[in-house]
Structure formats: C-alpha cells, structure tokens
Chain A
Amino acid sequence: MAFKIIASQCTQCGACEFECPSGAIELKGENYVIDPKKCTECEGAFETQQCASVCPVPKTCVPA
C-alpha cells in the first residue's frame, strides 16, 4: 500500500512534498521520491491521496 512518483513526468514543483500528511516524500538528488514504508495512501487523514490530487501532471503520482 503505497504511492510512487514517475520521475520522468515530475516537474519538481514540490507541492506533493508539503501536502503529504505522512512526511513520506523527499527530494533525493534530482528527484522527488515516496518512501513506501511511510506512505499510508493518506488513509485516515484525507479522502484522496494528497500527492495525486495536487500534482499538476496527470499520472505522475500513482499506486506503486
């Protein structure tokens, strides 16, 4: 149960990073990555996955 970021699509805007309620998203070198151990798919926090809802590029934050 986790989301992932398709690096080739990502604009590095960082919106997902500060919206993630689990602190699962981090900039590692050139790319934003989701730590699957921390990602809760926003269960219990919000009704939609925050990273996918805020991301400006379709199909960039997707189920892993």
Chain B
Amino acid sequence: MTASMISLDSSASAKTSDNRLTNAKSDSCKSSSCGSTAKPDDMDPATWEKIKDHPCYSEEAHHYFARMHVAVAPACNIQCNYCNRKYDCANESRPGVVSEKLTPEQALRKVISVANEVPQLSVVGIAGPGDACYDWRRTKATFEKVAAEIPDVKLCISTNGLALPDHVDELARMNVDHVTITINMVDPQIGAKIYPWVFYNHRRYTGIEAAEILHKRQMLGLEMLAARGILVKVNSVMIPGVNDEHLIEVNRWVKERGAFLHNVMPLISDPAHGTYYGLTGQRAPRAIELKALQGRLEKGAKLMRHCRQCRADAVGLLGEDRGKEFTLDHIPDAVSYDERNREAYREVVARERGNHAAAKSEAIEMVKAAGPDGSLHVAVATKGGGRINEHFGHAKEFQIYEASPRGIAFVGHRKVEQYCRGGWGDDATLDGVIVALEGIDIVLCAKIGDCPKKRLADAGIRAVDSYTYEYIETAISMVYATEFGVDLLTGTA
C-alpha cells in the first residue's frame, strides 16, 4: 500500500480515487464500525445533515472538505475599525482582503474550475470584502448561477447583519442553510468604539446611534434565520480592552437567539494594514488570552476552534489556500462542470469517515482508560483526511490536540513559516517554528530530517514520524500509552 493512495490529499483525482478507495485501510473496517457515521451523540440528525460536509461548521468535516470564497460583493454599508478597504497588500492574508473582484459570471467560471480540480469542494461562500447582503444583486446572481450548475454544493454567506433582515426570505428560498454574522457587541456603548459609522436608510449614522441600529438589525436577522431553521454561526473579533470581557455577554445573547456556533477570532491589527486599530496601536490578543476566553465561553453557544480566518478569496481545505492557482488568468474562458471528481471523492469519504470515527472513539476510550494523570500537548502535521500525512518541513500549520484523562480533543492550530523550501531548510525559519510550538510535548508528522529533529529535541519537543498515515487520534493514543507506560493495546488486538 503506498502512502499517496490512502492520504485523501488535495492532489486527489478521479483516477486515483478508486485506488484510494480500495486501499483506504479497508482491512480496518470492523463489523461494529461499518456504516457508522461520525455524527456526535449530542446532535440531532437534521442538523448533522446540514453540517456534515461543511468544513467550517463541523470540526470533523474540516478534515475532508474544502470551501472556496468568491469575492463578488465589495461594497459595504458599515465601517469597522479593524478593516481598511483601501489596500490589498500582497504580503498579507486576512479576512476582508482580496486581490480580485469578480462579476457573478466570472465567479461561476471560477467555481466550476475549482470543482473540477479540487474534489473536496463542498461549500461556496461569499465572505467579503464588503457585505454580501448589502450588495445583494451580485450575491443573489452568483448563488443562482452556482446552484443551477452544481446543485449539491452548499451556499454560505458572511454578513455584518445590517442588511440581513431584508434578505432572509430569499436566502431561505435559495436553500442557503448556513449564514455567518459578525457580532462584536450587544452594548451600543461598546459598539461605538468598534464601528465609526453605518449607512442605513440612505443616511450615515455615527456613534451610539449607529451601533444601536446595527445591534437591533443583527439580533433581528439572527432571530429570523433561526426561526427558519437556517444555521447561524456568529463570529466575534476579540479586541483586548474593548470587547473582550463583553463577549461573554454576546455569547449569552446569541445563544438565546438560536446561534448554532460562536467563533471568537483574534483581532488582526498590523499597522501596515492601515486600519484604524492598526494605526492607533490597539493590540491583538495573545494566543493564551484567546484560549482563556474560549474556555470561559465553552458553556454558552458551542464554540468553534478550527477557524482559520480565511481570506475572502480562499480556496481549499481550511488551513490551506490555493486561491492563487485559481485567479482569473488561470481559468479558461469556457469551462464546463464535470461531476466525476467530486462524486468519486465523496464515495471515498463516505467509507473513510466511518472508519475514522470508529478509530477515533476507540483511541479516545483507550486514553480515558489509561488512568487519571496524563496530559500531552500534541502538534500534528496533516494535509487532510484526518491522518498524519504531511512532512514536518512542508507544514504551514500544525493542528493542536490535547490528550488527557478526559480524552483527545482538538484545541486549535498554529501557523508557521514553511521550514523546508525546495529541499533545504533554513535555521531562522526553524527557530520561528520552535517558538510557535511553545508548550507542545510531541510533534507527529509523516517525516522529519535528523537535523530539525535534534533542534526540536534541544527545545524539549519530541518529533515522531513513525505513525505516518495513521489516523491522528490513533497515533496520539499510542504515543500516550508509551508515554505513561500503560499497555493499552492488549485487549483491542
């Protein structure tokens, strides 16, 4: 069995899908796990049906499915202090920024090209720059065209909520079953520090009055969506000293009004971006502050921890951005949708994820059974499929897991500079990677050279490449067992 055949990686094509299907650990399919789904126990089947192929709504799905954003609606009806719509700097990557604005026709061409080449594609979203509900004509035209060509792809929008109530009925009619609203406050006093103005009913409003209007419209939109059974994810930007404590209140409000997920994202405030916050020196939260806040919010609306704050033109699995491969100049003038790649891939995933779910719960049980005192922080290099299948030097991010007597939990990701470029690694980059891996006990990857391995060891981090192509949780449970000297494998053989 060769590695590439079971990796479900992004180079997947229809030709190899069949091989991958037959080779994808078919031997591990125990009768008890066959046909099992990965549905979490605490979720109703209708909701699971909506999110199971959506990488942003389901942490489980994000191992298998990809999203793409099309930037068709650049106009916006509010101003946020963390946004500067004037510049698109080539060296940055952040939400709201995009290099290429598309017409609905161009967007359709792009979606078809991506669907043909990225079989993992399951979601097409409109997520800025600008507001998808404000520039409604373009959003609607784009969704209608995409739905006509690729009926099974899920449509998704992000909005600041101001114009949202005007379009809820149409969204429901177009089968949009996921909407993200960015809600940073419920107290207009705090809102006034985040939003300098809103444009509503043909007028610009400022100060508390502006924040009050925005707040009322956001709550109305959220309630209307929830009443129609559309899943709502609420994004909040954590701005230290402005709304960090207040987000606990926001969490309570949005949960009461039916939000399905609450995603707290760190403020990005680099002076080079020229945003108000960037220029006034408003700092971003530190990773531990974000984690602490997420911990306090855990009891409110379900939290999402795998968000990557994608660019408005991102393409691919979360944590991966292939947007540059699909700019207009790379897309032929005439494209036609070929469903074979996506269909073949879906078949692979349908079988694979059942096996993965079974392996995962087995691994978690093993860790739980190991006794009361272990704790391991593990960084995993993966390019999807829920497996350890990325080289240390090729990783642009590590997925972070915690193993403890409570089980194995995904807790987030850490971005790094890719250490190995064209066969050689550079020491300064490795230093950066080591800093980013602070607090990690073990790195699991598909392969690592002796030199970086030693450098990591000197920093107290062990790198292990002997679990290549294993499921992430299975490998973690084995490492855990070795670590805490328990012979967990007996009994499961």
A interface list, Cβ under 8 A from B: 9, 11-15, 18-19, 46-48, 50, 53-54, 56-57
CB <8 Å contact, A56 and B85: yes
Q: Which of B79, B101, B137 contacts A18 (CB 8 A)?
A: B137
User: Any chain A CB within 8 A of the CB of B226?
Assistant: no
CB <8 Å contact, B85 and A11: yes
Residue interface bits B187-204, CB-to-A below 8 A is 1, else 0: 000000000000100111
CB <8 Å contact, B130 and A13: yes
CB <8 Å contact, A50 and B202: yes
Instruction: Return chain A residues, CB-CB under 8 Å to B76.
Output: 13, 15, 56
CB <8 Å contact, B204 and A54: yes
With contact pairs A18-B75, A50-B202, A54-B204 given, residues A11 and B135 touching in the complex (Cβ less than 8 Å): no
Beyond known contacts A13-B75, A14-B74: 7 more, CB 8 A cutoff = A11-B85, A13-B85, A13-B130, A14-B75, A15-B199, A54-B204, A56-B86
Main secondary structure of the interface of B (DSSP, over half): loop
Q: Which of B79, B86, B135, B203 contacts A14 (CB 8 A)?
A: B135
Q: Which of B77, B86, B137, B203 contacts A15 (CB 8 A)?
A: B77
Q: What bracket does the count of chain B residues touching chain A fall in?
A: 10 to 19
B interface list, Cβ under 8 A from A: 74-77, 79, 85-86, 101, 129-130, 134-135, 137, 199, 202-204
CB <8 Å contact, A11 and B74: yes
Main secondary structure of the interface of A (DSSP, over half): loop
CB <8 Å contact, A57 and B86: yes
With contact pairs A18-B135, A56-B85, A57-B86 given, residues A48 and B77 touching in the complex (Cβ less than 8 Å): no
Instruction: Return chain B residues, CB-CB under 8 Å to A47.
Output: 203
Q: Which of A9, A15, A46 contacts B75 (CB 8 A)?
A: A15
CB <8 Å contact, A53 and B85: no
In Å, the complex CA distance between A11 and B86 comes to 5
| Highest count of chain A CB atoms <10 Å: which of B79, B101, B130, B199 | B199
Q: A43: shortest Cβ distance to chain B, in Å?
A: 14
Instruction: Return chain B residues, CB-CB under 8 Å to A56.
Output: 76, 79, 85-86
CB <8 Å contact, B203 and A48: yes
Q: What are 19 of the A-B contact pairs (CB < 8 Å)?
A: A11-B74, A11-B85, A11-B86, A13-B129, A14-B74, A14-B75, A14-B135, A15-B75, A15-B77, A15-B134, A19-B202, A46-B203, A48-B202, A53-B199, A53-B202, A53-B203, A54-B199, A56-B76, A56-B85
